[in-house]
Amino acid sequence: MKGMAFTLEERQILGIHGLIPPRFKTQDEQLELCSISVERYQEDLNKYIYLMSLQDRNEKLFYRLLSENVEKLMPIVYTPTVGLACQKFGLIYRRPRGLFITIYDKGHIYDILRNWPEADVRAIVVTDGERILGLGDLGSYGMGIPVGKLALYTALAGIKPHQCLPITLDVGTNNEELLKDPLYIGLRQKRVTGKEYDDFIDEFMEAVVKRYGQNTLIQFEDFGNHNAFLFLDKYRNQYCTFNDDIQGTASVAVAGLLATLKITKKRLSDQTILFQGAGETLEEAVEKLKPTILIGAAAVGGAFTPKILQMMGKFSERPVIFALSNPTNKAECTAEDAYINTDGKCIFASGSPFPPVEYKGKTYIPGQGNNSYIFPGVALGVICTGIHHISEKVFLIAAEALSSLVTDEELKEGRLYPNLNKITDCSLHIATRIAEYAYETGCASTYPEPKDKQAFIKSQLYNYEYSSAVPPVYKWPNN
Protein backbone atom coordinates (compact mmCIF):
# COMPACT_ATOMS: atom_id res chain seq x y z
CA MET A 1 0.00 0.00 0.00
CA LYS A 2 1.17 3.50 -0.88
CA GLY A 3 -1.38 5.33 1.26
CA MET A 4 -1.76 8.96 0.23
CA ALA A 5 0.99 8.52 -2.35
CA PHE A 6 -1.52 6.94 -4.76
CA THR A 7 -2.16 9.32 -7.65
CA LEU A 8 -5.68 10.35 -8.63
CA GLU A 9 -5.55 8.03 -11.64
CA GLU A 10 -4.41 5.10 -9.47
CA ARG A 11 -7.16 5.78 -6.93
CA GLN A 12 -9.82 5.80 -9.62
CA ILE A 13 -8.60 2.66 -11.41
CA LEU A 14 -8.14 0.73 -8.14
CA GLY A 15 -11.54 1.80 -6.84
CA ILE A 16 -10.15 3.46 -3.73
CA HIS A 17 -10.97 7.08 -4.59
CA GLY A 18 -12.69 8.57 -1.56
CA LEU A 19 -11.43 5.81 0.76
CA ILE A 20 -8.33 7.82 1.67
CA PRO A 21 -7.96 11.56 2.32
CA PRO A 22 -7.84 13.84 -0.76
CA ARG A 23 -4.27 14.99 -0.03
CA PHE A 24 -1.59 13.64 -2.38
CA LYS A 25 1.77 12.97 -0.70
CA THR A 26 5.18 12.09 -2.05
CA GLN A 27 7.15 9.26 -0.48
CA ASP A 28 9.58 11.86 0.90
CA GLU A 29 6.70 13.55 2.73
CA GLN A 30 5.55 10.21 4.09
CA LEU A 31 9.09 9.47 5.19
CA GLU A 32 9.24 12.71 7.16
CA LEU A 33 5.97 11.88 8.91
CA CYS A 34 7.29 8.42 9.83
CA SER A 35 10.44 9.92 11.34
CA ILE A 36 8.31 12.27 13.44
CA SER A 37 6.04 9.40 14.47
CA VAL A 38 8.93 7.22 15.68
CA GLU A 39 10.32 10.05 17.79
CA ARG A 40 6.92 10.57 19.46
CA TYR A 41 7.38 7.38 21.43
CA GLN A 42 9.48 7.53 24.58
CA GLU A 43 10.00 3.80 25.04
CA ASP A 44 12.05 1.80 22.53
CA LEU A 45 9.58 -1.10 22.62
CA ASN A 46 6.80 1.22 21.45
CA LYS A 47 9.06 2.45 18.66
CA TYR A 48 9.61 -1.20 17.69
CA ILE A 49 5.84 -1.84 17.61
CA TYR A 50 5.29 1.24 15.45
CA LEU A 51 7.98 0.17 12.97
CA MET A 52 6.60 -3.37 12.72
CA SER A 53 3.17 -1.90 12.03
CA LEU A 54 4.69 0.28 9.30
CA GLN A 55 6.31 -2.79 7.78
CA ASP A 56 2.90 -4.46 7.64
CA ARG A 57 1.06 -1.58 5.96
CA ASN A 58 3.75 0.00 3.73
CA GLU A 59 6.74 -2.24 3.12
CA LYS A 60 8.64 0.05 0.77
CA LEU A 61 8.31 3.01 3.12
CA PHE A 62 9.49 0.88 6.07
CA TYR A 63 12.62 -0.35 4.28
CA ARG A 64 13.49 3.08 2.92
CA LEU A 65 13.12 4.60 6.39
CA LEU A 66 15.35 1.94 7.92
CA SER A 67 17.98 2.01 5.17
CA GLU A 68 18.33 5.80 5.41
CA ASN A 69 18.42 5.89 9.23
CA VAL A 70 20.50 2.85 10.12
CA GLU A 71 22.39 4.30 13.06
CA LYS A 72 19.19 5.53 14.71
CA LEU A 73 16.79 2.69 13.90
CA MET A 74 18.86 -0.50 13.77
CA PRO A 75 19.04 -0.61 17.61
CA ILE A 76 15.22 -0.53 17.55
CA VAL A 77 14.55 -3.06 14.79
CA TYR A 78 17.36 -5.32 15.98
CA THR A 79 19.64 -5.48 18.99
CA PRO A 80 19.19 -4.40 21.73
CA THR A 81 15.44 -3.66 21.51
CA VAL A 82 14.59 -6.88 19.66
CA GLY A 83 15.63 -8.77 22.80
CA LEU A 84 12.95 -7.01 24.81
CA ALA A 85 10.50 -7.50 21.94
CA CYS A 86 11.14 -11.26 22.07
CA GLN A 87 10.56 -11.33 25.83
CA LYS A 88 7.25 -9.51 25.31
CA PHE A 89 6.35 -11.29 22.07
CA GLY A 90 3.08 -12.75 23.38
CA LEU A 91 1.93 -9.27 24.33
CA ILE A 92 2.93 -7.43 21.15
CA TYR A 93 2.09 -10.16 18.61
CA ARG A 94 -0.28 -8.68 16.03
CA ARG A 95 -0.24 -10.72 12.82
CA PRO A 96 1.62 -13.63 11.21
CA ARG A 97 5.09 -12.80 9.97
CA GLY A 98 6.98 -15.97 9.17
CA LEU A 99 6.28 -19.65 9.68
CA PHE A 100 5.93 -21.56 12.94
CA ILE A 101 6.73 -25.25 12.45
CA THR A 102 6.29 -27.51 15.49
CA ILE A 103 7.67 -30.89 16.40
CA TYR A 104 4.14 -32.23 15.85
CA ASP A 105 4.37 -31.22 12.18
CA LYS A 106 7.05 -33.87 11.76
CA GLY A 107 6.32 -35.81 8.60
CA HIS A 108 4.48 -32.84 7.07
CA ILE A 109 7.05 -30.02 7.07
CA TYR A 110 7.03 -29.74 3.27
CA ASP A 111 3.27 -29.19 3.40
CA ILE A 112 3.72 -26.41 5.96
CA LEU A 113 6.30 -24.72 3.71
CA ARG A 114 3.82 -24.88 0.83
CA ASN A 115 1.43 -22.78 2.90
CA TRP A 116 3.81 -19.82 2.65
CA PRO A 117 2.37 -17.65 -0.16
CA GLU A 118 5.71 -16.82 -1.81
CA ALA A 119 7.32 -19.41 -4.05
CA ASP A 120 10.54 -17.53 -4.85
CA VAL A 121 12.24 -17.78 -1.46
CA ARG A 122 16.03 -17.33 -1.61
CA ALA A 123 16.91 -16.82 2.07
CA ILE A 124 15.62 -18.36 5.28
CA VAL A 125 16.60 -17.40 8.81
CA VAL A 126 15.61 -20.15 11.24
CA THR A 127 15.75 -20.47 15.03
CA ASP A 128 14.52 -22.94 17.59
CA GLY A 129 14.56 -20.20 20.23
CA GLU A 130 16.86 -21.99 22.67
CA ARG A 131 19.49 -19.27 23.02
CA ILE A 132 18.02 -15.91 22.02
CA LEU A 133 20.83 -13.33 22.18
CA GLY A 134 22.07 -13.53 25.77
CA LEU A 135 18.55 -14.05 27.13
CA GLY A 136 18.40 -17.84 26.98
CA ASP A 137 15.51 -20.11 26.05
CA LEU A 138 12.55 -18.05 24.76
CA GLY A 139 10.94 -20.79 22.68
CA SER A 140 8.48 -19.41 20.12
CA TYR A 141 9.02 -15.90 21.46
CA GLY A 142 12.31 -16.08 19.57
CA MET A 143 10.50 -15.37 16.28
CA GLY A 144 11.50 -11.72 16.66
CA ILE A 145 15.07 -12.69 15.78
CA PRO A 146 14.51 -14.17 12.28
CA VAL A 147 12.03 -11.39 11.51
CA GLY A 148 14.58 -8.75 12.56
CA LYS A 149 17.50 -10.40 10.77
CA LEU A 150 15.62 -10.59 7.48
CA ALA A 151 14.47 -6.98 7.81
CA LEU A 152 18.19 -6.15 7.84
CA TYR A 153 18.76 -8.41 4.80
CA THR A 154 16.54 -6.01 2.86
CA ALA A 155 17.36 -2.68 4.51
CA LEU A 156 21.15 -3.20 4.59
CA ALA A 157 21.76 -5.35 1.52
CA GLY A 158 18.79 -4.81 -0.77
CA ILE A 159 17.67 -8.45 -0.80
CA LYS A 160 14.04 -8.46 -1.94
CA PRO A 161 11.67 -8.98 1.02
CA HIS A 162 9.47 -11.48 -0.78
CA GLN A 163 12.56 -13.68 -1.16
CA CYS A 164 13.04 -13.81 2.64
CA LEU A 165 11.32 -16.23 5.00
CA PRO A 166 11.59 -16.18 8.84
CA ILE A 167 10.99 -19.55 10.50
CA THR A 168 10.71 -20.69 14.10
CA LEU A 169 11.00 -24.39 14.84
CA ASP A 170 9.00 -24.97 18.02
CA VAL A 171 10.08 -28.08 19.92
CA GLY A 172 9.00 -26.72 23.31
CA THR A 173 10.83 -24.66 25.93
CA ASN A 174 12.59 -25.34 29.22
CA ASN A 175 11.84 -21.82 30.42
CA GLU A 176 9.54 -22.31 33.42
CA GLU A 177 8.33 -18.70 33.33
CA LEU A 178 7.13 -19.12 29.75
CA LEU A 179 5.48 -22.45 30.49
CA LYS A 180 3.41 -20.64 33.14
CA ASP A 181 2.88 -17.48 31.04
CA PRO A 182 -0.79 -17.25 29.92
CA LEU A 183 0.31 -15.10 26.97
CA TYR A 184 2.87 -17.62 25.67
CA ILE A 185 2.17 -18.46 22.02
CA GLY A 186 4.24 -21.64 21.64
CA LEU A 187 4.02 -25.30 22.65
CA ARG A 188 3.53 -25.52 26.40
CA GLN A 189 5.93 -28.42 27.01
CA LYS A 190 9.57 -29.20 27.74
CA ARG A 191 11.97 -29.26 24.81
CA VAL A 192 12.17 -32.38 22.69
CA THR A 193 15.78 -33.56 22.37
CA GLY A 194 17.78 -36.48 21.05
CA LYS A 195 17.02 -38.45 17.91
CA GLU A 196 13.47 -37.13 17.53
CA TYR A 197 14.81 -33.55 17.49
CA ASP A 198 17.67 -34.38 15.11
CA ASP A 199 15.33 -36.17 12.69
CA PHE A 200 13.01 -33.14 12.81
CA ILE A 201 15.85 -30.82 11.76
CA ASP A 202 16.91 -33.25 9.01
CA GLU A 203 13.39 -33.26 7.62
CA PHE A 204 13.25 -29.47 7.75
CA MET A 205 16.45 -29.10 5.73
CA GLU A 206 15.28 -31.63 3.12
CA ALA A 207 11.87 -29.96 2.87
CA VAL A 208 13.41 -26.52 2.26
CA VAL A 209 15.44 -27.81 -0.68
CA LYS A 210 12.47 -29.73 -2.07
CA ARG A 211 10.27 -26.62 -1.85
CA TYR A 212 12.66 -23.84 -2.84
CA GLY A 213 15.69 -25.45 -4.48
CA GLN A 214 19.24 -26.38 -3.53
CA ASN A 215 20.56 -22.80 -3.65
CA THR A 216 18.24 -21.56 -0.90
CA LEU A 217 20.33 -19.94 1.81
CA ILE A 218 19.52 -21.25 5.31
CA GLN A 219 20.92 -19.13 8.13
CA PHE A 220 20.86 -20.79 11.55
CA GLU A 221 20.27 -18.30 14.36
CA ASP A 222 20.27 -18.53 18.16
CA PHE A 223 20.33 -22.30 18.55
CA GLY A 224 21.88 -23.67 21.74
CA ASN A 225 25.67 -23.91 21.53
CA HIS A 226 25.79 -27.69 21.21
CA ASN A 227 23.27 -27.81 18.37
CA ALA A 228 24.69 -24.71 16.67
CA PHE A 229 28.12 -26.28 16.21
CA LEU A 230 26.66 -29.72 15.52
CA PHE A 231 24.42 -28.51 12.68
CA LEU A 232 27.09 -26.28 11.16
CA ASP A 233 29.44 -29.23 10.95
CA LYS A 234 26.70 -31.59 9.76
CA TYR A 235 25.10 -29.46 7.06
CA ARG A 236 27.75 -27.07 5.75
CA ASN A 237 28.84 -29.43 2.94
CA GLN A 238 25.33 -30.64 2.14
CA TYR A 239 23.39 -27.37 2.03
CA CYS A 240 23.84 -23.66 1.39
CA THR A 241 24.00 -22.71 5.07
CA PHE A 242 25.87 -20.75 7.72
CA ASN A 243 25.53 -19.89 11.39
CA ASP A 244 25.71 -16.17 12.09
CA ASP A 245 26.34 -16.61 15.83
CA ILE A 246 29.49 -18.57 15.03
CA GLN A 247 30.75 -17.41 11.65
CA GLY A 248 29.27 -13.91 11.54
CA THR A 249 30.57 -13.09 15.01
CA ALA A 250 34.01 -14.44 14.13
CA SER A 251 34.09 -12.49 10.88
CA VAL A 252 33.14 -9.14 12.43
CA ALA A 253 35.69 -9.73 15.22
CA VAL A 254 38.44 -10.46 12.67
CA ALA A 255 37.49 -7.30 10.76
CA GLY A 256 37.87 -5.31 13.96
CA LEU A 257 41.20 -6.93 14.76
CA LEU A 258 42.50 -6.14 11.28
CA ALA A 259 41.44 -2.53 11.78
CA THR A 260 43.34 -2.33 15.11
CA LEU A 261 46.56 -3.13 13.26
CA LYS A 262 46.24 0.19 11.46
CA ILE A 263 46.34 1.87 14.88
CA THR A 264 48.93 -0.23 16.71
CA LYS A 265 51.16 -0.62 13.63
CA LYS A 266 51.81 -4.20 14.72
CA ARG A 267 51.20 -7.60 13.18
CA LEU A 268 48.41 -9.83 14.44
CA SER A 269 51.02 -12.50 15.18
CA ASP A 270 52.63 -10.11 17.68
CA GLN A 271 49.44 -10.01 19.75
CA THR A 272 48.31 -12.23 22.64
CA ILE A 273 44.58 -12.87 22.31
CA LEU A 274 42.40 -14.12 25.17
CA PHE A 275 38.81 -15.23 24.57
CA GLN A 276 36.58 -15.07 27.61
CA GLY A 277 34.50 -18.19 28.17
CA ALA A 278 31.53 -18.93 30.40
CA GLY A 279 33.68 -19.95 33.42
CA GLU A 280 35.09 -17.88 36.37
CA THR A 281 38.81 -18.11 35.70
CA LEU A 282 39.12 -14.92 33.79
CA GLU A 283 40.96 -12.56 36.16
CA GLU A 284 43.59 -15.17 36.89
CA ALA A 285 44.00 -15.89 33.16
CA VAL A 286 44.46 -12.20 32.36
CA GLU A 287 47.07 -11.83 35.09
CA LYS A 288 48.97 -14.90 33.94
CA LEU A 289 48.79 -14.54 30.15
CA LYS A 290 49.02 -10.73 29.95
CA PRO A 291 46.91 -10.49 26.77
CA THR A 292 46.99 -7.47 24.49
CA ILE A 293 43.56 -8.37 23.07
CA LEU A 294 40.57 -9.44 25.20
CA ILE A 295 37.42 -10.72 23.46
CA GLY A 296 34.12 -11.58 25.09
CA ALA A 297 31.15 -13.20 23.33
CA ALA A 298 29.72 -15.54 25.98
CA ALA A 299 26.96 -13.21 27.23
CA VAL A 300 28.34 -12.89 30.75
CA GLY A 301 27.42 -9.32 31.63
CA GLY A 302 30.12 -7.36 33.48
CA ALA A 303 32.75 -10.08 33.05
CA PHE A 304 35.40 -7.46 32.22
CA THR A 305 35.67 -6.00 35.71
CA PRO A 306 37.47 -2.71 36.50
CA LYS A 307 40.43 -4.71 37.82
CA ILE A 308 40.71 -6.74 34.60
CA LEU A 309 40.48 -3.60 32.48
CA GLN A 310 43.10 -1.88 34.61
CA MET A 311 45.43 -4.85 34.15
CA MET A 312 44.88 -4.70 30.39
CA GLY A 313 45.91 -1.03 30.50
CA LYS A 314 49.17 -1.99 32.19
CA PHE A 315 50.08 -4.81 29.80
CA SER A 316 49.81 -2.84 26.57
CA GLU A 317 50.14 0.68 25.22
CA ARG A 318 46.91 0.16 23.23
CA PRO A 319 44.95 -2.75 24.71
CA VAL A 320 42.13 -4.06 22.54
CA ILE A 321 38.82 -4.69 24.35
CA PHE A 322 35.98 -6.38 22.44
CA ALA A 323 32.75 -6.70 24.48
CA LEU A 324 30.63 -8.32 21.77
CA SER A 325 27.73 -9.90 23.68
CA ASN A 326 24.13 -8.80 23.17
CA PRO A 327 21.85 -7.32 24.38
CA THR A 328 23.38 -4.33 26.19
CA ASN A 329 22.96 -5.71 29.72
CA LYS A 330 24.94 -8.79 28.67
CA ALA A 331 27.93 -6.76 27.41
CA GLU A 332 31.16 -7.70 29.19
CA CYS A 333 31.72 -4.02 30.01
CA THR A 334 30.48 -0.62 28.92
CA ALA A 335 32.46 1.69 26.68
CA GLU A 336 32.81 4.13 29.55
CA ASP A 337 34.24 1.43 31.85
CA ALA A 338 36.75 0.42 29.17
CA TYR A 339 38.06 3.92 28.46
CA ILE A 340 38.20 5.07 32.09
CA ASN A 341 39.84 1.94 33.51
CA THR A 342 42.52 1.88 30.81
CA ASP A 343 43.07 5.65 31.14
CA GLY A 344 41.81 6.22 27.61
CA LYS A 345 44.39 3.86 26.09
CA CYS A 346 42.13 1.06 24.91
CA ILE A 347 40.75 0.33 21.45
CA PHE A 348 37.15 -0.66 22.15
CA ALA A 349 34.34 -2.33 20.23
CA SER A 350 31.01 -3.75 21.39
CA GLY A 351 28.13 -5.75 19.98
CA SER A 352 25.48 -3.34 21.23
CA PRO A 353 25.65 0.43 20.69
CA PHE A 354 27.17 2.69 23.34
CA PRO A 355 27.16 6.50 23.29
CA PRO A 356 30.37 8.55 22.88
CA VAL A 357 32.50 8.86 26.01
CA GLU A 358 34.07 12.09 27.26
CA TYR A 359 37.29 11.43 29.17
CA LYS A 360 40.03 13.93 30.08
CA GLY A 361 38.94 16.40 27.45
CA LYS A 362 38.76 13.86 24.62
CA THR A 363 35.70 12.32 22.96
CA TYR A 364 35.86 8.60 22.18
CA ILE A 365 33.34 7.11 19.73
CA PRO A 366 33.04 3.37 20.43
CA GLY A 367 33.13 0.98 17.52
CA GLN A 368 30.14 -1.32 17.23
CA GLY A 369 31.20 -4.79 16.11
CA ASN A 370 27.71 -5.78 15.05
CA ASN A 371 27.21 -8.86 12.86
CA SER A 372 24.99 -6.69 10.68
CA TYR A 373 28.16 -5.47 9.00
CA ILE A 374 28.75 -9.03 7.78
CA PHE A 375 25.73 -11.29 7.29
CA PRO A 376 23.66 -9.12 4.89
CA GLY A 377 26.58 -8.69 2.50
CA VAL A 378 27.51 -12.37 2.72
CA ALA A 379 23.91 -13.38 2.00
CA LEU A 380 23.71 -10.98 -0.95
CA GLY A 381 26.91 -12.33 -2.49
CA VAL A 382 25.87 -15.94 -1.97
CA ILE A 383 22.37 -15.46 -3.39
CA CYS A 384 23.49 -13.50 -6.45
CA THR A 385 26.23 -15.95 -7.45
CA GLY A 386 24.45 -19.17 -6.49
CA ILE A 387 27.15 -20.50 -4.16
CA HIS A 388 26.17 -24.01 -3.05
CA HIS A 389 28.35 -24.33 0.06
CA ILE A 390 29.64 -21.41 2.13
CA SER A 391 33.25 -21.92 3.15
CA GLU A 392 35.16 -20.15 5.93
CA LYS A 393 37.03 -18.32 3.16
CA VAL A 394 33.83 -16.41 2.40
CA PHE A 395 33.76 -15.00 5.92
CA LEU A 396 37.47 -14.16 5.83
CA ILE A 397 36.90 -12.27 2.57
CA ALA A 398 34.00 -10.43 4.23
CA ALA A 399 36.20 -9.49 7.20
CA GLU A 400 39.01 -8.21 4.99
CA ALA A 401 36.58 -6.28 2.81
CA LEU A 402 34.97 -4.63 5.84
CA SER A 403 38.25 -3.65 7.49
CA SER A 404 39.45 -2.05 4.26
CA LEU A 405 36.54 0.42 4.39
CA VAL A 406 37.43 2.01 7.74
CA THR A 407 38.83 5.48 7.10
CA ASP A 408 41.71 7.16 8.93
CA GLU A 409 39.26 9.72 10.29
CA GLU A 410 37.07 6.97 11.76
CA LEU A 411 40.10 5.30 13.33
CA LYS A 412 41.10 8.59 14.97
CA GLU A 413 37.62 8.86 16.47
CA GLY A 414 38.03 5.42 18.03
CA ARG A 415 35.89 3.55 15.51
CA LEU A 416 37.05 0.17 14.21
CA TYR A 417 34.17 -0.12 11.77
CA PRO A 418 32.68 2.29 9.24
CA ASN A 419 29.89 4.56 10.40
CA LEU A 420 26.67 2.53 10.61
CA ASN A 421 25.01 4.82 8.10
CA LYS A 422 27.47 3.51 5.49
CA ILE A 423 26.58 -0.11 6.15
CA THR A 424 24.65 -0.53 2.88
CA ASP A 425 27.83 0.39 0.98
CA CYS A 426 29.71 -2.14 3.12
CA SER A 427 27.22 -4.86 2.19
CA LEU A 428 27.60 -4.12 -1.53
CA HIS A 429 31.40 -4.11 -1.25
CA ILE A 430 31.41 -7.43 0.64
CA ALA A 431 28.99 -9.03 -1.84
CA THR A 432 31.13 -7.86 -4.77
CA ARG A 433 34.30 -9.33 -3.26
CA ILE A 434 32.49 -12.62 -2.61
CA ALA A 435 31.24 -12.65 -6.21
CA GLU A 436 34.78 -12.13 -7.51
CA TYR A 437 35.98 -15.01 -5.33
CA ALA A 438 33.09 -17.26 -6.38
CA TYR A 439 33.84 -16.91 -10.08
CA GLU A 440 37.62 -17.09 -9.61
CA THR A 441 37.33 -20.41 -7.75
CA GLY A 442 34.45 -21.89 -9.75
CA CYS A 443 32.04 -22.15 -6.79
CA ALA A 444 29.49 -19.85 -8.43
CA SER A 445 26.54 -21.47 -10.24
CA THR A 446 24.96 -18.36 -11.81
CA TYR A 447 26.04 -18.08 -15.43
CA PRO A 448 27.06 -16.48 -17.69
CA GLU A 449 29.70 -14.84 -15.51
CA PRO A 450 29.04 -11.10 -15.34
CA LYS A 451 31.95 -8.90 -16.41
CA ASP A 452 31.12 -6.16 -13.95
CA LYS A 453 30.33 -7.97 -10.68
CA GLN A 454 29.20 -4.88 -8.78
CA ALA A 455 26.87 -3.74 -11.56
CA PHE A 456 25.46 -7.28 -11.74
CA ILE A 457 24.69 -7.27 -8.01
CA LYS A 458 23.24 -3.75 -8.10
CA SER A 459 20.84 -4.80 -10.85
CA GLN A 460 19.23 -7.32 -8.48
CA LEU A 461 18.70 -5.04 -5.49
CA TYR A 462 15.32 -4.16 -4.02
CA ASN A 463 13.87 -0.83 -5.13
CA TYR A 464 12.60 1.21 -2.18
CA GLU A 465 10.77 3.66 -4.46
CA TYR A 466 7.11 3.23 -5.34
CA SER A 467 6.15 1.80 -8.69
CA SER A 468 2.98 2.70 -10.54
CA ALA A 469 -0.12 0.78 -9.53
CA VAL A 470 -1.62 1.49 -12.96
CA PRO A 471 -0.89 -1.12 -15.64
CA PRO A 472 0.80 0.37 -18.70
CA VAL A 473 -1.24 0.86 -21.85
CA TYR A 474 0.44 -0.52 -24.96
CA LYS A 475 -0.38 0.98 -28.34
CA TRP A 476 0.40 -0.63 -31.66
CA PRO A 477 2.41 1.65 -33.92
CA ASN A 478 0.51 3.01 -36.94
CA ASN A 479 1.22 1.14 -40.15
| Averaged pLDDT, 451-468 | 95
Looking at residue 1, what is its pLDDT?
83
The annotation places the binding site for a divalent metal cation at 221-222, 245
pLDDT band at 128 (very low <50, low <70, confident <90, very high): very high
pLDDT band at 469 (very low <50, low <70, confident <90, very high): confident
User: Higher confidence at residue 161 or residue 297?
Assistant: 161
With contact defined as beta carbons under 8 Å apart, do 218 and 241 qualify?
Answer: yes
pLDDT digits (tens, 9 = 90+) for 217-236: 999 999 999 999 999 999 99
Looking at residue 471, what is its pLDDT?
66
Looking at residue 33, what is its pLDDT?
97
With contact defined as beta carbons under 8 Å apart, do 378 and 434 qualify?
Answer: yes
pLDDT band at 367 (very low <50, low <70, confident <90, very high): confident
Looking at residue 7, what is its pLDDT?
94
Statement: residue 100 has pLDDT above 60: yes
Looking at residue 472, what is its pLDDT?
65
| Averaged pLDDT, 153-174 | 98
Phi-psi region of 191 (alpha: psi -120 to 50; beta: other; left: phi over 0): beta
Within 10 Å of residue 111's Cβ, how many Cβ atoms?
Answer: 11
Q: Active-site residue among 48, 78, 184, 417?
A: 78
What average pLDDT is seen over the chain? 94
The length of the chain is: 479
| Averaged pLDDT, 101-117 | 98
Task: Return d(Cα 189, Cα 342) in angstroms, integer.
Answer: 48
Task: Return d(Cα 302, Cα 319) in angstroms, integer.
Answer: 18
Q: Which residues contact 113 (CB under 8 A, 6 or more apart)?
A: 99, 207, 208, 211, 212
HSE (CB half, 13 Å, CA atoms) of 347? Answer: 26
Active site residue 78: yes
The annotation places the binding site for (S)-malate at 131, 326, 370
- E strands, 37-127, are 99-102, 123-127
Looking at residue 376, what is its pLDDT?
98
112-137: b (≥16 Cβ within 10 Å) or e: bbeeeeeeebbbbbbbbbbbbbbbeb
The CA R_g of the chain, rounded to the nearest whole Å, is 23
Active site residue 149: yes
pLDDT digits (tens, 9 = 90+) for 197-207: 999 999 999 99
- % of the chain residues with pLDDT over 90: 86
User: Higher confidence at residue 326 or residue 216?
Assistant: 216
pLDDT band at 478 (very low <50, low <70, confident <90, very high): low
Question: Rounded to two decimals, what is the model's pTM?
Answer: 0.93
The annotation places the binding site at 131, 221-222, 245, 326, 370
With contact defined as beta carbons under 8 Å apart, do 375 and 255 qualify?
Answer: no
Burial (CB count within 10 angstroms: exposed 0-12, middle 13-18, buried 19+), residue 8: exposed
Looking at residue 352, what is its pLDDT?
85
Task: Return d(Cα 227, Cα 192) in angstroms, integer.
Answer: 13
| Averaged pLDDT, 245-249 | 94
Looking at residue 289, what is its pLDDT?
93
Task: Return d(Cα 69, Cα 364) in angstroms, integer.
Answer: 22
Task: Return d(Cα 170, Cα 191) in angstroms, integer.
Answer: 9
Q: Active-site residue among 2, 47, 60, 149?
A: 149
pLDDT band at 279 (very low <50, low <70, confident <90, very high): low
| Averaged pLDDT, 286-299 | 92
Statement: residue 476 has pLDDT above 80: no
Domains and CATH numbers, the chain: 1-77 (1.20.1370.30), 95-239 (3.40.50.10380), 272-371 (3.40.50.720)
